[in-house]
Structure 1
Amino acid sequence: MALQFQGRRLSPVRVLIVAAAIAALVAGGLAYWHRANDSAAAADADQWFGAYVDATSTPFYDIGASAAPEQRVVLGFVVADPEDDCAPSWGGYYSMDEAAEVFDLDRRAARVNAAGGQIVVSTGGLLNDELATACKDPAATAAAYRAVLDRYQSTTLDLDIEGDDLSDAEAGQRRVEAVLQLQQDTDFQLWLTLPAATFGLAPEGVAEVQRMLDAGVRIDGVNLMTMNFGQTRESGQSMATASIQAAQTAHQQLDELYQAKGQKLGERSLWRKIGVTPMIGQNDLLGEVFSLEDAVELNRFALAQGVGRVSFWSANRDAGCGETYPDLNRVSNNCSGVAQDTGQFASLLSAGLGQQTPAVAPSLESSGEKAPVETAIADDPDASPYPIWNAQFAYVKGDRTVWRKNVYEAKWWNQNSAPDAPAGKDQPQPWSLVGPVLPGDKPAAVLEAPAGLYPSWSPEKVYTKDDRVLFEGRVVQAKWWNTAQSPEAALQGSTDSSWMVLDNATVRKLIDKKPAKTPSAPSKASATSPAAEN
């Protein structure tokens, strides 16, 4: 007789348990896969630090001397030229050519790039018209954005949209069209800098982001101006805590905006699209002070969450105000209003953000390598904007010279001090590095004064302090009483001469100020009148 085995039948409850277990395993695997992809995507995105610099604020900030390698410098603000709505200008005061001439922006930007840093161009700001607001032609606006990025070799465009610019929906649509055109043929990162409160982005800011996403603009990040919170900050809440709350809420807002477009970004990927920008020290609102302790706390949060960007307003203010500053509650463009070391906020906020730890260089003794030989670099007078440095010349404060393909400016009187000579510890260096000689640089043409602007120099005359004469086409001014002392030495750069040579800018003002003489026919009376002889 054959035996038959009757299998046990699974109950419906057991089937459900097994199915739930399998579903849990699948869900867990998918969640792990999504987290892994999210982490990988976040790792591919930049995380960076870059302080804002008010480019046109005086004294002009030396970006080349202050930016650390691998950091970015956010230059603000490019706005519409008041005389040409579609032309970019710095703060409405300087064209790009004028900025190069007045405060050497081209050369200083080139120095940042050469040191491994990056220039970020920021447009808009609170006080002037962003280009898309003033310019009614999106193509011309795109061309203006492109011109500024190209000029400073920048790969990041920061659209700082606030105030009237943010509430102007028509300008916002033109801005979208301009950015879309620019993204078609230019590879760059796009950041939107928008006002924030503890509740995150205001409705106008949300609308600006949504316009961009609806049009298909690729946004690399949204930078929150975490400052001037006003009544949205709870009593006793620190500025760092308020900034963190703003970032967390904006994170949720971005998540909803992207999901509405059918894009599900992971949590860490979304954090990479968030930037935070506090105003260091005393804010514009009384009682709001972003302290050094706030900087430490915000930096820790940024590192823990993987925030994509940290900036602050502004590098010009990253210094103590000093004992002579009368009122620390009054906001200054040149100091923070809190007790600090110069550059301390930049150091605290940037710690660990997007910077590689420098490798320890092997010692020459252990490596067996020979010490490098100093490379000879020949300067070309015909391709240098200033005279080549000469050990025999005496230089005074403000004098510029070219040495080994770089431009230097004298801090004080010096002679026979090579501009790139290393200074010992605690020893002052009489030169400051401005930046490299740029392609296309040529010697500045000497402005020759027209005959008759001043009398010609005469060895027989006595001159007193501030007397001006013409000598070999140049205007020279007496520094003290002298006679029979030729201005030739002054033209050769001597500081011991009794004369000083006026620069081109001063001579141009004198020429423009001098009224033109209109010849007229002499009257009959003029030939015999006694007044004609006086």
Structure 2
Amino acid sequence: MSKRFPGRKLSFVRLTIMVVAIAVVAGAGLVGWNRFQDAQAAAASPSIFAGYVDVTATPTYAFESPVSPQAKSVVLSFVVADHSNPCEPSWGGAYGLDAAAQSLDLERRAARLVQQGGHVAVSFGGQANDELATVCTDPGKLATAYSDVVQRYDLDTIDLDIEGSALENVASIQRRAVAIAALQKERLQQKKPLAVWLTLPVDPNGLTAAGRAAVDHTLAAGVELAGVNIMTMDYGSSKNPTETMLAASIRAAEAAQVQVGQAYKDHGTPLGAESVWRKIGLTPMIGQNDVKDEIFTLADAAGLQRFAVEKGVGKMSMWSLNRDATCSPNYPDVTRVSDGCSGVEQGSALFSEVLGAGLLPGTAASAQATAGENSTAKAQMTQTPVVDDPATSPYVIWNESSAYVGGDRVVWRRNVYEAKWWTRGDIPDNPVLAAGSTPWQLIGPVLPGDKPAPTVTVPDGAFPAWAETTVYHQGDRVLFDGHVFEAKWWTRMDSPEAALQGSSNSPWLQLKNDAVEKLLNAASK
């Protein structure tokens, strides 16, 4: 080469340019490879939709009968500390776990949703009542409380909703994180991994200082977070008055994504941008928010859904599925938040369908597992006759000759049904009747461990037998055909038989078992 190009030498400047060029190419290649790895990691975690259900709200929301495919994935809310026993989990402080099974049939309804390919998670905390870790200071009892809920409902996903004063309680945040990390480790050893979402309030600038600290404490304790779910709602004075709810929510999401990414980096596990977005959940409060002037519209929902799909957020949710309906005309003030409607005119549209479009219900793993379980169950049903056993059935076995009134529950072919009105001889699982025609509502399957519900035996003489010629006044109680009835008004010669058959015009009201039991207990004192 020296002969062909005499005198040409590789100068220091040229050498420097060459080295820089090689470094740039190598760096670009490394960046490209990192982005590829980030995209692959993000793709391994599907974006999901799961709407919150307020379990103790009135009227009771029938989540086991989903109104849309997107509503088949639910986050049942909220498990909190029992008012009298701070280390005992309860639903909203109103029902213990056993009471919820009996009064709300919660486990059976959850099982029914899973039968249909749905997914069930549970949220601890919320705005009202006391989250377990804030009042249960015994580490062992706290861990047991969380574990009891996870095992009872066989959960693969839980949500920790920390807000209000609980967010400022650093000691409880640390207790909770330690307990949940231990529970995750235990479940993993049992080959039942547990996904954990941390739900926190935000303003349009992202997580608050207390929220960022909660993320840090949770990661420091070793909790493997599925993600940080931000409540894009109730911004108050932090939102610019001219800013839309959609714009404020997007701004909050973008800020939170940066904050969560920094938290992982600070804890020695840096993530790529796409992977961090998979660690973000968005939960708007549909329709009328708690702040009077804040209304999250269907148009806002469509915009947030587009943003979520574009960014690849890990989870979209909403508060709540109970509220996903237009308020009826008899609800006088739609600016006052309702548990049962959104406060905006929805027409035939559903917020769950708009927000959940393009997202998977539940988790991919749970959906695959459910599909496998359903296939196995169907195969077993075709091979083995279904036999109802009174010894393991929570309610009486349906009988063709017996009459049932609205609210009565029976077991038929290993499923529990509730009568919608008086019926006799109508098979509960008649496949040719439309939902509006059948007198039976399917509640859910008979569960492992079920046993007959306790029956109330009325002792002889506890109530007088109904007599045709006796005059009865409002509040008088009688015994007829083994059932206790109470007079609604003055009556004579009106048999309680009509009430037994479900007539609303009867002067008699049939008392349910729990009411009869209370009367008998009061009489024995």
TM-score category of the 2 structures, normalised to the smaller one: 0.7 to 0.9
Q: 1:464 Cα deviation (Å)?
A: 4.6
**One-letter code aligned to 1:318:** D
Do the aligned partners of 2:470 and 2:492 also contact (CA within 8 Å) in 1? yes
Structure 1 spans left out of the alignment, 5+ residues? 359-371, 517-534
Query: Which letter does structure 2 place at the counterpart of 1:130?
Result: E
- Aligned partner of 2:9: which letter? R
Query: 1:409 and 2:410 equivalent?
Result: no
Specify the SS of the correspondent of 1:64.
coil
1:193 and 2:166 matched: no
Paired residues of 1:272 and 1:306 also in contact (CA < 8 A): yes
Describe the shift of the 1:69–1:514 C-alpha distance in structure 2 as closer, same or farther (beyond 3 A).
Answer: same
1:475 pairs with one of 473, 476, 484 = 484
Deviation, 1:245, is 0.6
Matched with 1:158 is 159
Shift of 1:176: 1.9
Report the alpha carbon displacement of residue 427 of structure 1 after superposing the two structures with TM. Answer: 5.1
Structure 1 residue 388: deviation in Å?
2.3
Given the alignment, which residue of 491, 502, 521 partners 1:512?
521
The 8 Å contact of residues 490 and 501 in structure 1, kept in 2 or not, is answered as: no
Instruction: State how 1:309-324 maps to structure 2 within 5 Å.
Output: 309-324=315-330
Q: Percent identity?
A: 48
Alignment-mate amino acid for residue 178 of structure 1: A
Question: How far, CA to CA, are the matches of 1:4 and 1:376 in structure 2?
Answer: 94
Return the alpha-carbon distance in structure 1 between the equivalents of residues 481 and 441 of structure 2. 32
Aligned equivalent of 1:146: 147
What CA distance in whole angstroms lies between the structure 1 residues aligned with 2:342 and 2:5? 88
1:52-451 alignment, distance < 5 Å: 52-66=52-66, 71-186=72-187, 187-341=193-347, 344-354=350-360, 376-422=385-431, 428-451=437-460
**Preserved CA contact (<8 Å) 1:406 1:437:** yes
Return 5+ residue gaps in structure 2 as ranges.
Answer: 188-192, 368-380
Distance 1:279 1:261 in 2: 32
CA offsets 1:3-27 (integer angstroms, 9 cap, x no match): 9985842223332232222212211
The answer on whether the counterparts of 1:329 and 1:337 sit within 8 Å (CA) in structure 2 is yes
The residue number in structure 1 matching 2:377 is none
Change (3 A) 1:100 1:426: closer
- Structure 1 residue 495: Cα displacement: 6.1
Q: Is the 8 A contact 1:319 1:334 kept in 2?
A: yes
TM-score by structure 1 length?
Answer: 0.85
Contact 2:406/2:502 (8 A) holds in 1: no
How many Å separate the matches in 1 of 2:95 and 2:348?
Answer: 28
1: CA distance, partners of 2:116 / 2:174: 37
Match for 2:231: what amino acid? Answer: M
Question: 1:361-402 deviations in whole A, cap 9, x for unaligned?
Answer: xxxxxxxxxxx9898533223322222223433432212222
Aligned-residue offset at 1:36: 1.2
Please give the secondary structure, in 1, of the residue aligned with 2:50.
Answer: strand
- Output the amino acid matched with 1:32: G
Instruction: Report the CA distance shift for 1:95/1:426 in structure 2 as closer, same or farther (over 3 A).
Output: closer
- CA distance in structure 1 between the partners assigned to 2:384 and 2:310 by the alignment: 45
Q: Retained in 1: the 8 A contact 2:288–2:337?
A: yes
Indicate the SS of the match to 1:120: strand
Please tell me whether the aligned partners of residues 390 and 416 of structure 1 are also in contact (alpha carbons under 8 angstroms): yes
Say if 1:107 and 1:4 are closer, same or farther in 2 by CA, change over 3 A.
Answer: closer
Equivalent-residue separation in structure 2 for 1:69 and 1:113 (angstroms) = 13
Q: Name whichever of 394-403 and 323-332 sits farther off.
A: 394-403
* Alpha-carbon distance between aligned partners in 1 of 2:4 and 2:268, rounded to the nearest angstrom: 57
Distance 1:178 1:431 in 2: 43
* Inter-CA distance 495–284: structure 2 relative to 1 (3 Å threshold): closer
Supply the distance in 1 between the matched residues of 2:9 and 2:169 (Cα, whole angstroms): 71
Query: Given the superposition, is the C-alpha separation of residues 56 and 80 from structure 1 closer, same or farther in structure 2, using an over 3 Å criterion?
Result: same
- The answer as to whether partners of 2:324 and 2:341 remain within 8 angstroms in 1 is yes
**1:203 CA displacement:** 0.3
Change (3 A) 1:236 1:414: farther
**Over aligned residue pairs, what C-alpha RMSD do you find?**
3.0
Question: Partners of 2:392 and 2:411 in 1: how far apart?
Answer: 10
| Residue range with higher mean Cα deviation, 157-166 or 259-268 | 259-268
Aligned to 1:50: 50
Which is greater in Rg? 1
- Structure of greater relative contact order (alpha carbons < 8 Å, 6+ residues apart): 2
Tell whether the 8 Å contact from 1:79 to 1:88 is kept in structure 2 after alignment: yes
Q: Per the alignment, in what secondary structure is the counterpart of residue 220 of structure 1? A: strand
Counterparts of 1:408 and 1:335, CA distance in 2: 27
Q: 1:53 to 1:287 in 2, by over 3 A?
A: same
- AA at the equivalent of 1:120: A
Letter in 2 for 1:330: R
**Deviation readout 1:100-149 (Å, 9 max, x if unpaired):** 11111111111122222221111111111110000001221111111111
Instruction: Give secondary structure in 2 for the equivalent of 1:514.
Output: helix
- Whole-Å separation in 2 of the counterparts to 1:507 and 1:90: 25
1:69·1:115 contact (CA, 8 Å) conserved in 2?
no
